[in-house]
A and B are shown apart, each in its own frame.
Chain A
Amino acid sequence: MNKLKSQALIGDIFIIVTSAIAVVFLFKTLWSNVPASQLLIRQADQIIGTYDLEQTRELHIHGPLGESHISIEQGKVRFKQSPCNHQYCVHQGWLNRVGQVAICLPNQISLQLIGEKKPYDSLNY
């Protein structure tokens, strides 16, 4: 009885396998490998602006805690500095793919990457 209790049962295996499949599915659908072309910045629920990623620029965004510094550098972006306690946002590091998000929750600022980068303006066919 004791040994049985510390071993996984059939139902457990079923749950584990189903969950694993669900996780893989989530990765496949929600994660993108496509380089992004634009950055969308929000403060609270306001859109501060949309910025081209193909530039080198520093942005200072004001939130309730103070100023967060955001660096855009030729296709990637990150929180450089933020007045929050845990610095989770800064630790996210550089973002460069569509769908990637960095959030400074305490300062209510979010960075979101959008816009598939098309390597051309028009298609010849």
Chain B
Amino acid sequence: MRPLFLFFSAWLLISCSAKEPLYNTQTYVFGTLVDISIYGETDERAQAVSNAIIQEYQHLHQRLHAWKPSELSAVNQAFTQGEAITVKADIAQMLSDVTRLSTQSNGTFNPAIGQLIKLWGFQNDTFTPHQVDAKAIDSLISKNPRMTDLVIKGNQIHSVNSAVQLDLGGYAKGYALDLGLAYLKQQHIQHALINIGGNIIALGQHGNQAWRVGIQHPRQPNAIATVALASGWAIGTSGDYQRYFYLDGKRYCHIIDPKTGYPVQGMQSVTVLIPPKKQAGVLSDVASKPIFIAPANERLAQAKAMDVPHFLIITSNTDIQVSEAMQQKLTWLDHKAEKIAKVVRFE
């Protein structure tokens, strides 16, 4: 009997290596993949919390849809007709926030160019290569739709420029990250990670180490570096490798320069890292765009204007710039890239 007893107690002791309490769910919202990880909760609790968040996201997505009938498209409709419209309080708040950020970037971040985005075919789930009429672009540029064309009085909005069409694609995901984080905290969840289409915000840790985030290589199917994302930090990347089409050997990505009306050329990706603050999520989404769009000699200025000391700019296979602060946070996985990268001072 004794050997049997020993065997079973040994077996029991050994099998007490518990499965780690990490819950993970992936859903398709905002036209992209949303990945929520919750650590240290029971599966039931984690599932309930993530489901609530996902539902909230689906609702938000419906309200802010740029090309399907939504609260936002109703606003756009009103703008076209030169009429005022009353919106819900959170949307009014959102739009004045977007205006503030647009001004901060000197108009480089400009969600009022919905018509241009539509012209290039990026207000769609799939993109087909097509020639865009240069005259149409010129006409839109000359109309100069900007966020400052909006007049917001309480919950009433109207636009002084009928060419303004809002597309919050570069803002909504970040906004959702902040919403998600607030909800998690309210629910007393201590450790979680939310990834909305690549934009990530962290809460707490993964067990006894920080959440680790990989940064996608713009031209290869692997991560170029990783970052330890401490609690409250957020990370976002604007890149030319997710939404684009090729025409006559040239790549046309979805990020359009509001000054020229054409997709940005000659840039592969810009990654920004945002420390814990009230709008960390929004900034992780918004702040990378003006840096991506600006001409080479203005990129640093944009980073300063958006108050982003942590950035990684990949222009091509042979040109990588990383800020001092970012370099300290990065663990390079691609050593060729590590060697090429030039450290830039934020001053």
Contact = CB atoms under 8 A, between A and B. Distances in A.
A91 interface: no
Contact of B17 (A51, A118, A121, A125): A51
A24 to B, nearest CB: 25
A41 B14 CA distance: 10
Contacts of B226: 119-120
A122 interface: yes
B237 A121 contact: no
Interface in A39-64: 41, 48-52, 59-62
B279 to A, nearest CB: 18
B214 A119 contact: yes
A123 B19 CA distance: 23
Contacts of B14: 41, 48-49, 59-61
Interface stretch (B68-76, B99-107, B205-213, B337-345): B205-213
Chain B interface residue number, banded: 35 or more
A86 to B, nearest CB: 23
Contacts of B237: 124-125
B50 interface: no
Contacts of A49: 14-15, 17
A124 B271 contact: yes
A124 B10 contact: no
Contact of B215 (A51, A52, A60, A124): A124
Contacts of B37: 121-122
Contacts of A62: 6-7, 10-11
A119 B223 contact: yes
Contact of B193 (A50, A59, A67, A121): A121
Given A60-B14, A123-B195, 12 more contacts: A49-B14, A49-B15, A49-B17, A50-B17, A61-B14, A62-B10, A119-B212, A122-B200, A124-B271, A125-B197, A125-B215, A125-B237
Ordered nearest first, which 9 A-B pairs have the shortest CB separation?
A: A120-B214, A125-B216, A125-B198, A120-B212, A62-B7, A123-B214, A122-B195, A120-B226, A49-B15
Interface of B: 6-7, 10-11, 14-15, 17, 19-20, 35, 37, 193, 195, 197-200, 206, 211-216, 223, 226-227, 235-237, 239, 241-242, 271, 331, 333
